[in-house]
Amino acid sequence: MTAYWIAHVTVLDAVKYKDYTDIAPEAFRKFGAVFLARGGASEVLEGESFERHVVIRFKDMRTALGCYHSPEYQAAKTRRDGHCVAQITIVEGLDG
């Protein structure tokens, strides 16, 4: 069953955040991630407002969690820590 990585991000330091975006794609490629939304126009109707919203599809929950916990992604995450505010949730998709 597919799983989706849903991230809401506000970048605090664009120069330092680029250190993350330079290496994070390695983890996403390794785990077969498919980006369905990345930034772009958005309108927050309820809840906390973030400047960027990202939706990434994975083949299943195990793969999505594997990507997040992988050495490749954790190395990228270390580079973004302190340079953005992020909320990341992994959710299982619906059958069929």
All domains of the chain in start order, with CATH:
3-92 (3.30.70.100)
Torsion of CA 20, 74, 37, 86, to 10 degrees: -80
Q: How many CB atoms lie within 10 A of CB 67?
A: 23
- Residue ranges of the alpha helices (H) in 31-70? 61-69
Model's pTM, two decimal places?
0.92
pLDDT tens by residue, 73-94: 999 999 999 999 999 999 999 9
Put the strands of the sheet holding 3-11 in their side by side order. Answer: 34-38, 52-58, 3-11, 84-92
Q: Which of 56, 7, 8 is nearest to 29 (CA)?
A: 56
pLDDT tens digits in sequence order for the chain, 96 residues long:
999 999 999 999 999 999 999 999 999 999 999 999 998 899 999 999 999 999 999 999 999 999 999 999 999 999 999 999 999 999 999 976
